[in-house]
């Protein structure tokens, strides 16, 4: 009887981080993990990512070391008492306090449900999505290459073929089977023409306009785009309810509502600006926020 194999070794478990571990020493100054986390937490979000990234935190700490060495030397030389530098430090302090106050106002501001409803009603179509299939009949000169072995079709020829394909589909032929043999969109053809789920702004405008106008299960007429002629069928048309997107809308509206409070503070304060020196006031910026769900175009 053979020897019984030894049980596999237990995987090594990483030791928990010690917040009191000293990770940086500069002269007589020590920094623990807890100190580092506290410093990084106070930074803007983009710098936090840099300061904690596995590939970048070394560069960040080198910058910190240089900053601390130079600032200590500046203090030894009493550079902070230079009037110009004093003004710069004071301005930076005011800037940081103003930024902190605006962020606080955004967290505390109450966004009325009526404003959320108005925004939702005005942007309803941006919360729609479709699941659809298509068959593409490519035209000569389209921005994507023709499939190997397929002839280049003129606009008239492509339209005629698309119309014939639609007749076959209306007569009952299986859409996926026809897409696999006829569609010139090689990416979706092997999936039966399936495009998956998409939102407004993700397709070229003529395709999008036609697709979102279709009823579920309806087979479109040939739709012309720079790629050729598309036959589209929509399998699912979804629209997110207000309750689903309310937190995102509220988040998008918070800066706008906070700016209204800042404007109210400005109107209540005694402020006089010499237009002859600074120029006339600029027109107010648009207060319409970006839809958090609108895809990049």
Contact partners, residue 12, CB within 8 Å, separation at least 6: none
Read off the tokens for 271: 């402020």
pLDDT in tens, 63-114: 999 999 999 999 999 999 999 999 999 999 999 999 999 999 999 999 999 9
Contact partners, residue 166, CB within 8 Å, separation at least 6: 219, 220, 221, 222, 231
Q: Check residue 101 and give its pLDDT.
A: 96
pTM over 0.75: no
Contact partners, residue 67, CB within 8 Å, separation at least 6: none
Q: Check residue 16 and give its pLDDT.
A: 58
CB-CB contact of 116 with 253 (8 Å): yes
Q: Check residue 180 and give its pLDDT.
A: 96
pLDDT at 133 over 70: yes
Task: Say how far apart CA 54 and CA 60 lie, in whole Å.
Answer: 11
Looking at per-residue pLDDT, the higher value among 13 and 123 belongs to 123
Give the pLDDT mean for 5-30: 71
Q: Check residue 150 and give its pLDDT.
A: 85
CB-CB contact of 30 with 24 (8 Å): yes
Q: Check residue 147 and give its pLDDT.
A: 80
Q: Check residue 225 and give its pLDDT.
A: 97
pLDDT in tens, 159-218: 999 999 999 999 999 999 999 999 999 999 999 999 999 999 999 999 999 999 999 999
Q: Left (φ > 0), alpha (ψ -120 to 50) or beta: where does 181 sit?
A: alpha
CB-CB contact of 285 with 260 (8 Å): no
Q: Check residue 44 and give its pLDDT.
A: 86
Mean pLDDT, the chain, as a whole number? Answer: 90
pLDDT band at 286 (very low <50, low <70, confident <90, very high): low
| Lowest mean pLDDT across 125-134, 139-148, 221-230, 280-289 | 280-289
Can you give the C-alpha Rg of the chain in angstroms?
Answer: 31
Looking at per-residue pLDDT, the higher value among 16 and 184 belongs to 184
Task: Say how far apart CA 272 and CA 275 lie, in whole Å.
Answer: 9
């Amino acid at each position: 009887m053979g020897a019984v194999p030894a049980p596999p070794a237990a995987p090594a478990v990483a030791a928990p981080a010690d917040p009191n571990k000293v990770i940086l020493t500069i002269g007589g100054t020590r920094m623990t993990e807890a100190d580092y986390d506290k410093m990084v937490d106070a930074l803007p979000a983009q710098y936090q990512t840099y300061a904690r990234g596995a590939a970048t935190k070394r560069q960040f700490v080198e910058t910190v070391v240089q900053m601390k060495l130079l600032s200590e030397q500046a203090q030894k030389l009493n550079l902070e008492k230079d009037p110009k530098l004093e003004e710069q430090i004071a301005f930076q302090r005011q800037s940081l306090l103003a930024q902190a106050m605006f962020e606080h106002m955004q967290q505390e501001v109450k966004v009325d449900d009526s404003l959320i409803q108005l925004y939702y009603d005005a942007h309803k179509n941006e919360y729609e999505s479709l699941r659809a299939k298509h068959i593409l009949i490519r035209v000569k000169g389209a921005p994507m290459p023709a499939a190997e072995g397929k002839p280049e079709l003129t606009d008239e020829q492509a339209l005629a073929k698309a119309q014939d394909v639609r007749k076959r589909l209306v007569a009952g032929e299986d859409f996926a089977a026809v897409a696999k043999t006829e569609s010139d969109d090689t990416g979706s053809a092997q999936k039966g023409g399936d495009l998956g789920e998409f939102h407004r702004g993700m397709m070229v405008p003529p395709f999008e306009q036609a697709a979102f106008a279709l009823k579920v299960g309806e087979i479109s007429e040939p739709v012309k785009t720079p790629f050729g002629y598309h036959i589209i069928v929509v399998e699912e048309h979804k629209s997110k309810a207000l309750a689903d997107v309310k937190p995102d809308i509220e988040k998008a509206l918070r800066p706008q509502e906070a700016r209204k409070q800042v404007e109210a503070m400005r109107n209540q304060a005694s402020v006089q600006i010499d237009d002859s020196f600074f120029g006339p006031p600029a027109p107010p910026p648009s207060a319409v926020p970006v839809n958090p769900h609108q895809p990049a175009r």
